[in-house]
Structure 1
Amino acid sequence: MPRQLDLTALRSFAAVADAGGVTRAASQLNLTQSAVSMQLKRLEETLGLSLLDRSARTIALTAQGEQLLAYARRLLALNDEAWGRLTHPAFEGTLDFGVPHDIIFPHVPVVLQRFAAEYPRVKLQLHSLYTSGLKDMLARGDMDLILTTEATVDAGGETLRREPLVWVGAPGGQAWRARPLRFASCAHCVFKRPALDAMEAAGIPWEFAVDSISTAAIDATVAADLAVSVQLESAVPARCEAIRHCGALPQLPDHRVNMYIAPGPRAVLAERLAGFLRQSYGVAESLAAE
């Protein structure tokens, strides 16, 4: 059965090594000299090794002691980091995080799980709304961090990914061949205007099949092969697919997944969440392709 090192004893050991003696180490640790000596003895007995060379006038480390000191410093630093992160008052409370419904998957659930594990004292509140609504809430101070889908990025924003819009239909569907082209879209969707402009420019007659605030209604209509919609390439809904139209439908512009952090007392905590989002989206790789 594996043995466990006593962090308190390791802290005393590291203090003795740094201070060059038990007396000064005891003063730094606010302990008695005998308490520090007992911790050192217990640590040596646990390991079955001599860690200090007591033959000289000043205390020196043995070869085994030098090796343990490197581990001790790493273990203590990790312990102190974890303790500070989990107990620091900046890392508690509520954080409001807004995301458009169509980009919640696949990145957001993974980020939420990781954030909850690392900051268990923070209540992370997820809000799903369209981009313009989220930006309004951020401006009012009702959001701490938001993701958006936009053609450009505003001042203070950061692009996490840039990718094309695609036409979306039912798997193996034929609705995209019909004229007028039946089109389904959310009332506030930022992708609606680019899609309509593209159809107008290409001379494709169209009509609304669904213009609703219900994304479920839109996805169901498209999955039933009664209409087409547009979506980011990475966010095609389940039971739908990107249409392989071989140029029969017009090219759509690229859009961005942007991130905005509100200033204020929770900005430090929001930045921790932002770091997880950057890692999940692979910012360096995606922006290098621009």
Structure 2
Amino acid sequence: MARNLDMTALRSFVAVADCGGVTRAAGFLNLTQSAVSMQLKRLEESLDLKLLDRSARTIALTANGEQLLSYARRMLDLNDEVFGRLTAQEFEGEITLGVPHDIVYPSIPQVLQQFNHAFPRMRVHLVSSFTLKLKEMLAKGEADLILTTEDTLDAGGETLAELPLVWVGAVNGSAWRQRPLRLAFEHKCLFRKGVQKALDDAGIPWQMAIESDQSRTIEASVSADLAVHAMLVGSTPPQSETVQHGGALPELQSKQVNLYSTDMARGQAFNALSDLLRGSFEMRLATRGIAAQ
């Protein structure tokens, strides 16, 4: 006799694996903690397998759980694609989404993938630029939805997260030890003045060693150990790392990740994309143990 897996239980299982716990997964899924726990129990009973190791303070996957997770992601992706292809044909058009260079990863690719599954006929035009440029585009009607990284929130916006800036350097690099400290920043980066002030207040000499309008140039220079940079926690490129300076460099301020939209940008697809952006940063805060603002 054929047996069927419960897709709702699988979705809860994946959420628990991604969020690192039942409580955070329940918030992400908008369910009660008891409902998520019941779905996990039902899933384990249906497979007659232990999927989660609950012996430690944090929930971990068993070997069977790790194997199921791979299957579950593929099944949910296919499930969402089927529903999107067959039920969302009335949604057609384009949404222009603006995102600063330094927060495209790791959240935005996953958001775009999820949105495409739900609204396959909608096109998201992704624009990556500086906060000032993105706000200009929004004001001119050239963008429908933008994320920004800034100190304050303007009228009509919504703060999704407040994340600390961290020092970024080459993997196992030593540029952060040099004095004067060599800095690498884009010309229009909103972080650079605050970083310079923090160094001045700490009495640390510095020089703007590398400047460019291209983020790739800055990333390449930092990864080559020619200078250091500052980025929001969790956004460090794979070829660089957060500098473990042990207090040799000043702590940096936090920045807000804000969401803005045009008055004309409304509708189910637009709201779904906005919700995915909110959810991605809620999960990012949860997985890093940072309280939502």
Identity of aligned residues (%): 45
Deviation of the 1:266 alpha carbon: 4.2
For 1:227, the equivalent position in structure 2 comes to 227
Conservation of the 8 A alpha-carbon contact between 2:181 and 2:205: yes
**Unpaired runs of at least 5, structure 2:** 3-82
State the 1:195 CA deviation.
Answer: 0.4
In 2, distance between residues paired with 1:83 and 1:218? 40
| Aligned position for 2:162 | 162
Q: What's the CA shift for 1:87?
A: 3.7
Which protein is bigger by CA-based radius of gyration? 1
1:183–1:227 Cα contact (<8 Å) kept? yes
Q: Who is 1:144 aligned against? A: 144
Do 1:111 and 1:280's aligned partners in 2 also have CA atoms closer than 8 Å? yes
Name the residue aligned to 2:196: 196
Unaligned runs of 5+ in 1: 3-80
Q: Which residue is equivalent to 1:74? A: none
8 Å contact kept, 1:174–1:225: yes
- Structure-1 separation of matches of 2:85 and 2:173: 55
Residues 170 and 239 of structure 1 are in contact (CA less than 8 Å); yes or no, is this contact kept in structure 2? yes
Taking structure 1 as the reference length, what is the TM-score of the superposition?
0.67
The equivalent of 1:75 in structure 2 is none
Query: Given the alignment of the two structures, is residue 96 of structure 1 paired with residue 96 of structure 2, yes or no?
Result: yes
Q: Match for 1:148: what amino acid?
A: T
| In 2, Cα distance between equivalents of 1:225 and 1:191 | 20
Do structure 1's residue 114 and structure 2's residue 114 form an aligned pair? yes
Aligned twin of 2:206: 206
Instruction: Flag the 1:159–1:124 CA change in 2: closer, same or farther, 3 A.
Output: same
Cα distance between partner residues in 2 of 1:83 and 1:240 = 39
Q: Distance in 1 between matches of 2:231 and 2:279?
A: 23
Question: Hey, what does 1:253 align to over in structure 2?
Answer: 253
* DSSP 3-state at the match of 2:88: helix
TM-score, scaled relative to structure 2: 0.67
**Aligned-partner residue type, residue 178 of structure 1:** Q
Query: Where does structure 1 differ by over 3 angstroms across 4 or more consecutive aligned residues?
Result: 81-85, 265-269, 283-290
**CA RMSD, aligned part only?**
2.2
Counterpart Cα distance in 1 of 2:104 and 2:151: 18
What letter matches 1:100 in structure 2? P
